Amino acid sequence: MTSIKVQKAARIIQQELGHLFLQLPAHVCSNKLVSVTQVQLSSDLGTAHVYLSFVETGTTPTHLVAQIAQHTSLIRRRLGERIREKVRKVPRLRFYQDCSAQQAVHIHRLFQQLESPRQEDKNDKSNKKG
């Protein structure tokens, strides 16, 4: 269970990183739209695990996360400028790809596949009655 203080700091960091990714130089994010979907802070507020999502990019998300990670010091410095009055210390940033949207789409497709045979069975039964 995380404390309210940790949750509040995580929300602030998530919000500020979201704004920051819109303002970073194009080479940091390959000029792609980056969304910060979640920030999980360690209990000592020393490390932030930042989960990123990307709009259809044509580039592999893994490559984009690696590219962003190369600029961690720049991002952390700019984040510090934005949150210095709200959060006592700027955490180390660890970037990860958020796969939840892709997983949701995959699960939705699986459910659609499960429903398709049922519809065919209903159609077959109604055709036999008629």
pLDDT tens column, 40-95:
999 999 999 999 988 766 778 888 899 999 999 999 999 999 999 998 889 999 99
Range of the domain at 126: 99-130
Residue 74 belongs to domain with CATH number: 3.30.300.20
Are 72 and 116 contained in the same domain?
A: no
In angstroms, the Cα distances linking 1 to 36, 44, 54 are 22, 13, 29
Are 16 and 74 contained in the same domain?
A: yes
| pLDDT recorded at residue 50 | 97
| pLDDT recorded at residue 54 | 83
| pLDDT recorded at residue 102 | 67
Are 51 and 74 contained in the same domain?
A: yes
Are 92 and 52 contained in the same domain?
A: yes
- Determine the distance from the C-alpha atom of residue 53 to the mean position of all C-alpha atoms in its chain, rounded to a whole number: 4
Q: Is the predicted pLDDT of residue 105 greater than 90, yes or no?
A: no
Are 71 and 82 contained in the same domain?
A: yes
Residue count (the chain): 130
Q: Which long-range contacts (CB under 8 A, 24 or more apart) does 114-119 make?
A: none
Are 93 and 104 contained in the same domain?
A: no
Are 124 and 84 contained in the same domain?
A: no
Torsion-angle region of residue 21: left (phi > 0), alpha (psi -120 to 50) or beta? alpha
Are 81 and 112 contained in the same domain?
A: no
| pLDDT recorded at residue 40 | 95
Are 15 and 68 contained in the same domain?
A: yes
Are 104 and 82 contained in the same domain?
A: no
| pLDDT recorded at residue 30 | 77
| pLDDT (mean) for 99-108 | 72
Per the structure, the count of domains in the chain is 2
Lowest pLDDT segment from 10-14, 50-54, 112-116: 112-116
